[in-house]
A = this chain, B = another copy of it.
Amino acid sequence: MAGRPRKAEPEAALVAAMNAFWQKGYESTSMSDLTEATGLHKASLYQTFGDKHQLFVSALKLYFKKSSKAQKESRNGEENPINAIRNSVDTTINQCAEGKGCLAVNSLIEVAPFDAEIDRILKQFRQHLDKHLAGLVDEAKSVKLVSGSVDTKEAVRMISIFLHGLSANMAAGMSANKARALLHGQLDLVLTLRKKSHRS
């Protein structure tokens, strides 16, 4: 009944493909690049993941899965909601890489305008992240660490947009440290925290 077993876990190949798309973008990553990155032959990629577009969709979904997992872990017992917020956005920055930026933001610009499916996936992901952050902001408001006059949705949006901007700048070489510093400044402004209040 059973046939020849796989030599490699397809998950590892998918991670390699994800990194390839991340580094070069969708269009510029050729099937040849993908075979080199994954170690799999071209036809094996087609058999395992379908065509290039399907492989990209799978890679994006994996990126989101990893990112969501990192978000959940970012709290890690932290009780102070403000610090939880800081951990959360720091984690988002950590998902970016110097010289590469964030795969989601890159794809938002490069492929979402021409690809309804990718656009849908990315929108879903943004909503997911925004919801997570909004929960933390509400929590901070409930314990009066953030003023009740702050509009949660608005605040989250201002932070989210700023994160997009940081991703673009990191793609062009901004360091993660610099990005984090700017980001915490933005948090101070949006949540009307006193400056230099980073960490407790």
Contact = CB atoms under 8 A, between A and B. Distances in A.
A64 to B, nearest CB: 16
- The secondary structure that dominates the A interface is helix
Contacts of A122: 172
A93 B152 CA distance: 25
B27 A172 contact: no
Contacts of A112: 171-172
Contacts of A27: 25, 27-28
Interface string A154-179: 10011011111111110111000000
A108 interface: yes
A113 B154 CA distance: 32
A110 interface: yes
B28 A172 contact: no
Contact of A106 (B109, B123, B167): B109
Interface in A44-89: none
A137 interface: no
Given A122-B172, A172-B119, A154 B109 contact: no
A65 to B, nearest CB: 21
A11 B155 CA distance: 44
Indicate the member of A157, A167, A168 with the most B CB atoms within 10 Å: A168
Contact of A110 (B25, B154, B157): B25
A105 B163 CA distance: 14
Q: Please provide the 4 A-B residue pairs with the shortest distance between their CB atoms, ordered closest to farther.
A: A165-B165, A164-B165, A161-B165, A189-B189
Interface of A: 24-25, 27-28, 99-101, 105-106, 108-110, 112-114, 119, 122-123, 154, 157-158, 160-169, 171-173, 182, 185-186, 189-190
15 contacts: A25-B27, A25-B110, A27-B27, A100-B113, A106-B109, A106-B110, A108-B169, A109-B109, A112-B171, A157-B182, A158-B182, A161-B182, A162-B165, A164-B168, A189-B190
